[in-house]
Amino acid sequence: MLKMENMILKEGKVLPGGILKVGSFLNQQINTVLMKSAGEEIERLFCATEVNKVLTIEASGIALAVAAGMQLSVPVVFAKKHKTSNVDGNVYSTKVHSHTHGVDYDVVVSKDYIGKDDKVLIVDDFLAHGKAMQGLIDIAGQAGADVAGIVVAVEKCFQGGGDALRDKGLRVEALAAIESMEPNKIVFR
């Protein structure tokens, strides 16, 4: 998606350790005009798949997930992150390791909001090593739901998470797929 790539080139900042800072338009500040276009693009990509629910993870996945859900006219369910194990019986949960923060946390979704009749589109802001994404796929699996596909705003291809999921036969779409990056030089796939 050209608008996403152009925004990354204009406002993204490459930091040491393979980090791309996009806080001005995708994370802490959200460019809603861009999000609306992103939602339209996601609708174009997945409108033929009979998705009935969007699944994401708090907090920075929510904006793109809502943009997608609005265009597809389906509800959005977001998984919660817990650092402690205050998880009761009425949830699906799985452990995820965060490379960014160096900690494990529980990812939790109430059993009320995802089930075996659901066909979910998993949405997140970033796909890097793919740990959070694997957690969401695991949650969908526990619920007996189908995964129609995965879409992220930015895939950092060089960290391998996206291709590992494609190798498992999943459909993975990135609105911007970064093949390599260094300060002032970002190459898209």
Number of residues counted as binding a copy of itself (CB under 8 A)? 31
d(CA 165, CA 124) in angstroms, rounded, equals 14
d(CA 52, CA 85) in angstroms, rounded, equals 30
Site string for a copy of itself, 97-126 (x = CB under 8 A): ------------xx-xx-------------
- Distance in Å, CB of 160 to a copy of itself, minimum: 28
Coil, strand or helix: which one is 175? strand
- Distance in Å, CB of 122 to a copy of itself, minimum: 15
Strand partners of residue 119: 146
Coil, strand or helix: which one is 42? helix
Cβ atoms of 42 and 153 closer than 8 Å: no
- Distance in Å, CB of 179 to a copy of itself, minimum: 28
Coil, strand or helix: which one is 135? helix
Phi, psi of 53 (to 5 degrees): -160, 145
Quick one: 61 or 162, whose CB is closer to a copy of itself? 61
Q: Examine residue 69 and tell whether it contacts a copy of itself (CB under 8 A).
A: yes
Quick one: 29 or 180, whose CB is closer to a copy of itself? 29
Residue of 48, 73, 89, 169 interacting with a copy of itself (CB under 8 A): 73
Q: Examine residue 46 and tell whether it contacts a copy of itself (CB under 8 A).
A: no
d(CA 163, CA 134) in angstroms, rounded, equals 12
Under the phi-then-psi rule, with left for phi > 0, alpha for psi from -120 to 50, and beta for the rest, what region is 144? Answer: left
Quick one: 100 or 180, whose CB is closer to a copy of itself? 100
- Distance in Å, CB of 157 to a copy of itself, minimum: 27
Q: Examine residue 23 and tell whether it contacts a copy of itself (CB under 8 A).
A: yes
d(CA 76, CA 56) in angstroms, rounded, equals 7
* Residues binding a copy of itself (CB under 8 A): 23-25, 28-33, 35-36, 58-59, 62-63, 66-67, 69-70, 72-78, 80, 109-110, 112-113
